[in-house]
Amino acid sequence: MQTTSLSGPPPSPASPASPSSSPTSVSGTAGTAPAVSGRGLVRTYGDGDAAVHALRGVDIDIPRGTFTAVMGPSGSGKSTLVHCLAALDRPDGGEVVLDGVALADLDDAGLSRLRGARVGFVFQSFNLVPVLTAAENIRLPLVLGGVRADEAWFTEVVDRLGLGDRLGHRPHELSGGQQQRVAVARALLSRPAVVFADEPTGNLDTATGHEVLDVLREAVRTGGQTVVMVTHDPVAASWADRVVVLSDGRVAGTLDGHPDAAAVTDALARVRAGGEA
Ligand SMILES: Nc1ncnc2c1ncn2[C@@H]1O[C@H](COP(=O)(O)OP(=O)(O)OP(=O)(O)O)[C@@H](O)[C@H]1O
């Protein structure tokens, strides 16, 4: 049985979390296709004078086995980008390749199947089903997809997340942090190509949020998972291997090499002042 500390200190910016910390650039994964990539992504809401250009031509590669934070000012396109990469939304232009599959080639049913099989989601508001137990919530996406869970993996995920004695509890009987850990377990159970987390700590107090970040970080470090997380919080972003900064629908820069919170804050300030990250 594998257990993981949920309360350890955040990884030191000066010394990455472990020697196995993932490479932080595409070149560092030479020969390995990105888990997900976007090329020339354009997404416009509305038209004419009311048009909002949420994405104005985004190129992005998410290397496998890395933890990427997506940051940027409010309205810069973070959620739109992640929704396009996660097959929840279709861009108006450009292409997304997720786990080797070109999303433009799929119809809506195909996108839905792909999401179920290859994508995990963690939302700010947990999105658990209130009448189901923790175990039932964790299994729900596989049940809906008609896929049998790998029971050894279920046990390992539950143990790693410290949920073993909470499996029979319903969401209202769990703390916020426990609920989010259930959501993370649900996202990991299908062994997805990518876990997308949209503000996963937004509803949690600082200490509990750090526990959830530890869990996501550990899924990358020891589980080889790929995680993409939208966050407004430079401290949360410091758990990531790399930070992609958006500004006005474009990539304003990428911070590689496990940037610390101060470096992320500085980059955001440069972007808010109209510069590059
Ligand atoms: N469904 C929609 N209809 C119209 N405009 C939209 C829609 N969704 C997003 N937008 C607009 O697109 C732009 C980018 O939105 P998006 O939610 O991607 O930004 P964000 O960086 O995630 O913002 P925040 O940090 O505030 O959550 C914003 O100007 C937003 O108002």
- Predicted confidence (pLDDT) at residue 17 exceeds the cutoff of 60: no
Angle between helices 151-160 and 176-188 (to 10 degrees): 150
For 152, the token pair is 């050894």
Q: How far is the CA of 56 from the centre of ligand 1 (A)?
A: 13
Q: Cα separation of 174 and 180, whole Å?
A: 9
Tell the CATH topology of 63-76+107-272: Rossmann fold (3.40.50)
Question: Ligand 1, atom 6: nearest CA belongs to which residue?
Answer: 45
Does ligand 1 come within 6 angstroms of the Cβ of 44?
A: no
Q: Is 124 in the pocket of ligand 1 (CB under 6 A)?
A: no
The residue type at 22: S
Give pLDDT tens digits for 204-255. 899 889 988 998 999 999 889 999 999 999 999 999 999 999 999 999 999 9
Answer with the residue of higher pLDDT: 147 or 56.
Answer: 56
User: Distances in Å between the alpha carbon of 114 and those of 111, 131, 145, 201?
Assistant: 5, 27, 10, 26
| Angle CA 136–209–76, to nearest 5 | 100
Residue 72, H or E segment: none
How far is 226 from 36, CA to CA, in rounded Å?
9
Closest by CA position to 145, among listed 202, 186, 206, 88: 186
Q: How confident is the model at residue 31 (pLDDT cuts 50, 70, 90)?
A: low
State pLDDT tens for residues 102-161.
999 999 999 998 998 899 999 989 999 999 999 999 999 999 888 899 999 999 999 988
What is the number of the ligand 1 atom nearest to the C-alpha of 232?
A: 25
pLDDT for 1: 37
CB 240 within 8 A of CB 261: no
Identify the pLDDT of residue 41. 98
Give the SS3 label for residue 25.
coil
* Residue that wins the pLDDT comparison between 147 and 72: 72
